[in-house]
Protein backbone atom coordinates (compact mmCIF):
# COMPACT_ATOMS: atom_id res chain seq x y z
CA UNK A 1 0.00 0.00 0.00
CA UNK A 2 1.19 3.52 -0.81
CA UNK A 3 1.00 4.74 2.77
CA UNK A 4 3.61 2.14 3.79
CA UNK A 5 6.00 5.01 3.00
CA UNK A 6 4.63 6.75 6.06
CA UNK A 7 5.13 3.69 8.23
CA UNK A 8 8.71 3.35 7.05
CA UNK A 9 9.39 7.03 7.71
CA UNK A 10 8.06 7.03 11.26
CA UNK A 11 9.79 3.78 12.09
CA UNK A 12 13.16 5.09 10.90
CA UNK A 13 13.15 8.62 12.33
CA UNK A 14 12.11 10.19 15.63
CA UNK A 15 12.24 13.80 14.45
CA UNK A 16 10.15 14.47 11.35
CA UNK A 17 10.46 17.63 9.26
CA UNK A 18 7.14 18.18 7.50
CA UNK A 19 6.76 21.16 5.16
CA UNK A 20 3.63 22.66 3.59
CA UNK A 21 3.79 24.20 0.13
CA UNK A 22 1.10 25.52 -2.21
CA UNK A 23 0.94 23.84 -5.62
CA UNK A 24 1.39 26.30 -8.47
CA UNK A 25 2.89 29.09 -6.35
CA UNK A 26 4.55 31.46 -6.94
CA UNK A 27 4.44 30.34 -10.59
CA UNK A 28 2.42 27.51 -12.15
CA UNK A 29 5.41 25.37 -13.06
CA UNK A 30 7.24 25.88 -9.74
CA UNK A 31 5.58 22.88 -8.06
CA UNK A 32 8.09 20.24 -9.13
CA UNK A 33 11.26 22.31 -8.70
CA UNK A 34 10.12 23.19 -5.18
CA UNK A 35 9.34 19.56 -4.33
CA UNK A 36 12.77 18.49 -5.51
CA UNK A 37 14.50 21.34 -3.65
CA UNK A 38 12.70 20.46 -0.41
CA UNK A 39 13.57 16.77 -0.78
CA UNK A 40 17.22 17.62 -1.50
CA UNK A 41 17.27 19.87 1.58
CA UNK A 42 16.40 16.96 3.88
CA UNK A 43 12.66 17.41 4.32
CA UNK A 44 10.99 14.13 5.36
CA UNK A 45 7.37 14.77 4.38
CA UNK A 46 5.67 17.36 2.16
CA UNK A 47 2.07 18.54 2.37
CA UNK A 48 1.07 19.84 -1.06
CA UNK A 49 -1.67 22.43 -0.78
CA UNK A 50 -4.40 22.33 -3.41
CA UNK A 51 -5.71 25.88 -3.95
CA UNK A 52 -9.41 26.48 -3.45
CA UNK A 53 -11.60 29.52 -4.04
CA UNK A 54 -13.10 29.60 -0.52
CA UNK A 55 -10.35 28.57 1.95
CA UNK A 56 -12.17 29.17 5.22
CA UNK A 57 -9.61 27.45 7.48
CA UNK A 58 -6.59 29.26 6.08
CA UNK A 59 -4.92 32.41 7.28
CA UNK A 60 -3.94 35.34 5.04
CA UNK A 61 -0.58 33.93 3.89
CA UNK A 62 -1.99 30.66 2.53
CA UNK A 63 -5.08 32.43 1.20
CA UNK A 64 -2.85 34.78 -0.79
CA UNK A 65 -0.76 31.88 -2.11
CA UNK A 66 -3.88 29.94 -3.08
CA UNK A 67 -5.39 32.92 -4.86
CA UNK A 68 -2.19 33.39 -6.85
CA UNK A 69 -2.00 29.68 -7.67
CA UNK A 70 -5.58 29.70 -8.98
CA UNK A 71 -4.81 32.80 -11.02
CA UNK A 72 -1.79 30.95 -12.43
CA UNK A 73 -4.09 28.16 -13.62
CA UNK A 74 -3.48 25.51 -10.95
CA UNK A 75 -6.18 22.85 -10.58
CA UNK A 76 -6.20 19.10 -9.82
CA UNK A 77 -5.70 18.10 -13.46
CA UNK A 78 -2.63 20.32 -13.77
CA UNK A 79 -1.25 19.15 -10.43
CA UNK A 80 -1.59 15.47 -11.34
CA UNK A 81 0.09 16.13 -14.68
CA UNK A 82 2.99 17.80 -12.92
CA UNK A 83 3.34 15.02 -10.35
CA UNK A 84 3.19 12.33 -13.03
CA UNK A 85 6.16 13.93 -14.80
CA UNK A 86 8.34 13.75 -11.70
CA UNK A 87 7.23 10.76 -9.68
CA UNK A 88 10.41 8.76 -10.33
CA UNK A 89 12.54 11.50 -8.73
CA UNK A 90 10.51 12.13 -5.56
CA UNK A 91 11.06 9.45 -2.93
CA UNK A 92 9.70 11.02 0.26
CA UNK A 93 6.00 10.76 1.19
CA UNK A 94 3.71 13.37 -0.37
CA UNK A 95 0.38 14.34 1.18
CA UNK A 96 -2.31 16.29 -0.66
CA UNK A 97 -4.00 18.84 1.58
CA UNK A 98 -7.07 20.78 0.58
CA UNK A 99 -10.81 21.15 0.70
CA UNK A 100 -13.14 18.23 0.12
CA UNK A 101 -15.38 20.12 -2.31
CA UNK A 102 -12.41 20.39 -4.65
CA UNK A 103 -12.11 16.60 -4.61
CA UNK A 104 -15.85 16.05 -5.12
CA UNK A 105 -15.91 18.40 -8.10
CA UNK A 106 -13.09 16.40 -9.66
CA UNK A 107 -14.83 13.09 -8.93
CA UNK A 108 -13.93 11.22 -5.75
CA UNK A 109 -12.86 7.86 -7.18
CA UNK A 110 -11.15 9.52 -10.14
CA UNK A 111 -9.23 11.72 -7.69
CA UNK A 112 -8.16 8.74 -5.56
CA UNK A 113 -7.00 6.81 -8.61
CA UNK A 114 -5.03 9.75 -9.99
CA UNK A 115 -3.46 10.40 -6.60
CA UNK A 116 -2.40 6.78 -6.22
CA UNK A 117 -1.07 6.67 -9.79
CA UNK A 118 1.30 9.59 -9.16
CA UNK A 119 2.53 8.24 -5.82
CA UNK A 120 0.56 10.30 -3.31
CA UNK A 121 0.73 8.79 0.16
CA UNK A 122 -2.30 10.30 1.86
CA UNK A 123 -4.93 13.02 2.03
CA UNK A 124 -5.65 15.78 4.54
CA UNK A 125 -9.18 17.09 3.95
CA UNK A 126 -10.07 19.35 6.90
CA UNK A 127 -13.72 19.78 5.92
CA UNK A 128 -14.48 16.07 5.47
CA UNK A 129 -16.23 14.98 8.70
CA UNK A 130 -14.65 11.85 10.10
CA UNK A 131 -17.99 10.07 10.45
CA UNK A 132 -18.65 10.69 6.74
CA UNK A 133 -15.18 9.40 5.92
CA UNK A 134 -16.01 6.17 7.76
CA UNK A 135 -19.45 5.69 6.23
CA UNK A 136 -18.90 6.81 2.63
CA UNK A 137 -15.28 7.39 1.64
CA UNK A 138 -12.82 5.42 3.75
CA UNK A 139 -13.17 2.15 1.89
CA UNK A 140 -12.42 3.86 -1.42
CA UNK A 141 -9.34 5.64 -0.06
CA UNK A 142 -8.03 2.42 1.42
CA UNK A 143 -8.59 0.53 -1.81
CA UNK A 144 -6.20 2.94 -3.53
CA UNK A 145 -3.66 2.81 -0.71
CA UNK A 146 -4.27 6.38 0.45
CA UNK A 147 -3.96 7.19 4.13
CA UNK A 148 -6.61 9.56 5.47
CA UNK A 149 -5.05 11.98 7.97
CA UNK A 150 -7.63 13.13 10.52
CA UNK A 151 -7.40 16.47 12.31
CA UNK A 152 -7.49 16.70 16.08
CA UNK A 153 -8.22 19.89 18.00
CA UNK A 154 -7.95 20.80 21.69
CA UNK A 155 -11.71 20.23 21.89
CA UNK A 156 -11.59 16.67 20.50
CA UNK A 157 -12.49 14.21 23.24
CA UNK A 158 -10.18 11.37 24.24
CA UNK A 159 -12.80 8.86 23.13
CA UNK A 160 -13.02 10.37 19.65
CA UNK A 161 -9.25 10.66 19.35
CA UNK A 162 -8.88 6.96 20.15
CA UNK A 163 -11.57 6.12 17.59
CA UNK A 164 -9.81 8.18 14.89
CA UNK A 165 -6.53 6.54 15.79
CA UNK A 166 -8.02 3.06 15.55
CA UNK A 167 -9.69 3.69 12.17
CA UNK A 168 -6.68 5.19 10.34
CA UNK A 169 -3.16 4.15 9.40
CA UNK A 170 -0.94 7.14 8.73
CA UNK A 171 -0.53 9.85 11.30
CA UNK A 172 -2.75 12.17 13.30
CA UNK A 173 -2.65 15.90 12.55
CA UNK A 174 -2.93 17.86 15.80
CA UNK A 175 -4.24 21.36 15.16
CA UNK A 176 -2.57 23.55 17.76
CA UNK A 177 -5.48 25.98 18.10
CA UNK A 178 -9.09 26.44 17.05
CA UNK A 179 -8.23 29.11 14.50
CA UNK A 180 -6.98 29.60 10.98
CA UNK A 181 -3.50 28.68 9.82
CA UNK A 182 -0.69 31.04 10.79
CA UNK A 183 2.30 31.40 13.09
CA UNK A 184 2.78 32.27 16.72
CA UNK A 185 5.89 32.89 18.81
CA UNK A 186 5.01 30.56 21.66
CA UNK A 187 2.25 28.14 22.57
CA UNK A 188 0.14 28.99 25.63
CA UNK A 189 -0.01 26.68 28.63
CA UNK A 190 -3.35 25.12 27.68
CA UNK A 191 -1.99 24.15 24.26
CA UNK A 192 1.03 22.45 25.81
CA UNK A 193 -1.33 20.62 28.16
CA UNK A 194 -3.26 19.47 25.06
CA UNK A 195 -0.02 18.09 23.58
CA UNK A 196 0.70 16.28 26.85
CA UNK A 197 -2.82 14.82 26.81
CA UNK A 198 -2.23 13.42 23.32
CA UNK A 199 1.08 11.94 24.37
CA UNK A 200 -0.57 10.27 27.35
CA UNK A 201 -3.18 8.46 25.24
CA UNK A 202 -0.62 5.89 23.95
CA UNK A 203 -1.92 6.12 20.39
CA UNK A 204 -0.79 3.68 17.70
CA UNK A 205 -0.33 6.40 15.07
CA UNK A 206 2.33 9.11 15.29
CA UNK A 207 1.10 12.65 15.97
CA UNK A 208 2.38 15.72 14.14
CA UNK A 209 1.43 19.27 15.02
CA UNK A 210 0.20 21.83 12.51
CA UNK A 211 -1.02 25.45 12.61
CA UNK A 212 1.04 27.98 14.54
CA UNK A 213 4.51 26.64 13.77
CA UNK A 214 6.76 29.69 13.48
CA UNK A 215 10.29 28.54 14.25
CA UNK A 216 12.50 25.43 14.54
CA UNK A 217 12.29 25.54 18.33
CA UNK A 218 8.49 25.50 18.20
CA UNK A 219 8.36 22.66 15.66
CA UNK A 220 10.94 20.52 17.45
CA UNK A 221 9.11 20.93 20.75
CA UNK A 222 5.84 19.89 19.12
CA UNK A 223 7.26 16.83 17.42
CA UNK A 224 9.19 15.64 20.45
CA UNK A 225 6.26 16.14 22.78
CA UNK A 226 3.59 14.70 20.50
CA UNK A 227 5.28 11.75 18.89
CA UNK A 228 4.25 8.55 20.64
Catalytic annotation, residues: 47, 58
User: Where does 41-129 have alpha helices with state H?
Assistant: 60-72, 76-86, 100-106, 108-117
Q: Which of 94, 72, 73 is nearest to 83 (CA)?
A: 94
Residue 26, preceding bond cis, omega within 30 degrees? Answer: yes
| CA–CA dist 15, 9 (Å, integer) | 10
Residue 54 burial class via C-beta count within 10 angstroms: exposed 0-12, middle 13-18, buried 19 and up: exposed
123: β partners: 96, 148
| CA–CA dist 68, 7 (Å, integer) | 34
Amino acid sequence: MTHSKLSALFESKKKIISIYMMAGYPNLEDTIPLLEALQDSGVDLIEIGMPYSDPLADGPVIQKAGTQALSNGMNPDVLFRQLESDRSRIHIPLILMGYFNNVLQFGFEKFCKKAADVGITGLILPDLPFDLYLSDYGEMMNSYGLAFIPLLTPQTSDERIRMMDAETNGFLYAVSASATTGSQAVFPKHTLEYFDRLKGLSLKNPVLVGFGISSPSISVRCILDCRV
